[in-house]
Amino acid sequence: MIMIPFAPPRIDQAIIDEVVAALKSGWITTGPRTKEFEKRLTAYCGNKSTLCLNSATAGLEIMLRWFGVGEGDEVILPAYTYSATANVVVHCGARPVLVDIGSDFNMNVANIKAAVTSKTKVIMPVDFAGLPCDYDAVLSVVNDPAVKNIFVPATKEQSKLGRILILSDAAHSVGANYKNKKTGALTDVSVFSFHAVKNLTTAEGGAIALNLPEPFDNDEVYKFLCVYTLHGQNKDALAKMQKGNWKYDIIEAGYKCNMTDLCAAIGLVELARYDSDMLVKRKLICDTYFNYFKQFDWAELPVLKDASRETSYHLFPLRIKGITESMRDEIMKRIFDKDVSVNVHFIPLPMLSYYKNMGFNISDYPVAYDTFAREITLPVFYDLTDEQLKMVCN
């Protein structure tokens, strides 16, 4: 019996052909394919402007730095996320403030409100498994006069916004909906991941979906970020290639995290068939799990769709009622013994050495711990066959 993998990427002839075309085009780094991918992502999501980068992690950190987050500042994020969400806050010299989640795996809005202080600069909601957070509720927290009054702007961008920035970690949720809008267009800024295990891949990659309110000019922010993520150089490689156009200036001590056209080639093919094919298949798999497991009293099923939102079907996080962490580990071991790959999303940050050493204690996050202890994520990927799907259910 061959092992059923957890989430291999979909690599077919169309992907291979487009990457080969990029290789043969003579332009392999940031260029026409990356710019086209950005335009199509903007059109797909309905946000204002989109910048592609080499990872979601880079996108999150760049936006924290753009907003001027640093020493003495606090950033609120869930205890239940991948470490990237918190690591970027640490990189900037700010303090991550972890809050507990609700039963839908997403940050609990009442907990966000309780965590706000005069040092809070950014809230980073995570659309866990692809299910969007309640962005109207998060927006009402940052717009609450009592919260706005204690906001202390320290940079031009912070003054311009006049409130806490909502920076969504939308690594899981490309294509998800909230109140008839897609992620990317739901809040100030959303960052997507195109890592190999994500719904829409470019092997490695990410995108910053800008959707900043007035008086921000999102195209101007986009132009600044292009420079900021490419050494602070005022001309990119393609512009410098134009005849005689060799002179450049460095206007910032910029970063280096641009997307290559080889990666964008994969993304263009993925995006073109994302709604009509990838999401259809992922929905079918998740609906199959949902309809199968609902017959069992012990199964606690994830929200795939409710009155205001629909997931991107990135993960199927099943929870088992009334079990302990060690029982969960034993169940997983037995599933692996049947050659089915499963996973746990995620080990809460307060349980990881670095964050434990920073002083976080998992006993302060009872929902995150209980969720983690009883969670098993089932395989969801494009090439999962009907036979494999039955096997996983069994």
The yes or no reply on residue 229 touching ligand PLP (CB under 6 A) is no
The yes or no reply on residue 350 touching ligand PLP (CB under 6 A) is no
8-state DSSP, 124: -
Binding residue for ligand PLP (CB under 6 A) from 206, 267, 348, 350? 206
Binding residue for ligand PLP (CB under 6 A) from 4, 107, 122, 126? 126
Tokens of 270: 């993925």
Between residues 62 and 373, which has the closer beta carbon with respect to ligand PLP? 62
The number of CA neighbours under 13 Å toward the Cβ of 118 is 4
Binding residue for ligand PLP (CB under 6 A) from 22, 56, 269, 392? 56
The yes or no reply on residue 106 touching ligand PLP (CB under 6 A) is no
Helices (H) and strands (E) in the chain, counts: 16, 13
Near ligand PLP in 170-189, by CB under 6 A: 171-172
The yes or no reply on residue 193 touching ligand PLP (CB under 6 A) is yes
The yes or no reply on residue 111 touching ligand PLP (CB under 6 A) is no
The yes or no reply on residue 120 touching ligand PLP (CB under 6 A) is no
Across 243-280, b (16+ Cβ under 10 Å) vs e yields eeeeeeeeeeebbebbbbbbbbbbbbbbbeebeeebbe
Between residues 105 and 289, which has the closer beta carbon with respect to ligand PLP? 105
**CA–CA gap between residue 98 and residue 107 (Å, rounded):** 10
Query: How long, in residues, is the chain?
Result: 394
What are residue 107's DSSP bridge partners? 101
Near ligand PLP in 153-172, by CB under 6 A: 169, 171-172
**CA–CA gap between residue 287 and residue 154 (Å, rounded):** 47
Q: Taking contact as CB under 6 A, which single stretch among the options 49-57, 241-249, 264-272, 371-379 is the one that binds ligand PLP?
A: 49-57
For residues 368 and 345, the answer to whether their CB atoms sit within 8 Å is no
8-state DSSP, 278: I
Question: Least distance (Å) from ligand PLP to the CB of residue 382?
Answer: 18
> What does the binding site for ligand PLP look like in residue numbers (CB under 6 A)?
55-57, 81-82, 84-85, 126, 169, 171-172, 193, 195, 206
